[in-house]
Amino acid sequence: MADGLHIEWLGRVPYDEALARQAQAVEARRAGACGDRLLLLEHPPVVTLGRSAREANLRTPRAQLAARGVAVREVARGGDVTWHGPGQLVGYLIVDLAARELRDAHAFLRTVEAALAAALAGLGVEADGREGMTGVFVAGSRPPRKLASIGLGLRGWITWHGFALNVTTAPDAFDDIVPCGLHGVVMTSVARELGGAPPALFDEARAAVARAFAERLA
């Protein structure tokens, strides 16, 4: 059986290093050397392409991105293309769904959306999921304003990869891509929806996310 969720803040971590840490955590979970984990962190600027990504959703050529110090990585998660960088809270979930008797990746995805929506409500932003889309959006927004992207991977019913919540991201952070391959969706952030970024907003968001996931994956 599952025995709760260990939550760890890693600070700002290069994407390749975080990917290696995830792989190690998955194997440790499989071996029973640790329980379920949520790794919270930030990344330096990086564009990642999931299993269903299309090159056309990169608006800026890879060489130009590299010249600006933006890495591009192809990864084994669901979803299309996304951006990670400063001001964005990234969460990698290493959760054994079989141990939780939840062999349903779609149901777990909905749990992740619900936890993020609860955390956002605590920060003063009403948010929810959208039919036919993955992620978390400002409630009632038209066109949809997206606050968080989700892309999960599975290794024998153990999840890895996870979510990215835009907390204080720059307004132009997503200009190089078609985020998640979704046209007609506007990327936003907690700071933008609140009309500004109080000095402690990122720390408050990190605490709210940790509480929401601890409650749902206890």
The pLDDT, as a whole number, for residue 3 is 67
The predicted model scores a pTM of 0.94
The pLDDT, as a whole number, for residue 52 is 82
Q: Which amino acid, residue 137?
A: F
Catalytic residue among 65, 180, 190, 191: 180
Taking 90 as the threshold, does the pLDDT of residue 132 lie above it? no
Domain 5-216 in this protein, CATH class: alpha beta
Does residue 180 carry a catalytic annotation? yes
How does pLDDT run across 112-122, given as a tens digit for each residue? Answer: 999 999 999 99
The pLDDT, as a whole number, for residue 209 is 98
Taking 80 as the threshold, does the pLDDT of residue 1 lie above it? no
Average pLDDT of the residues in 119-142: 95
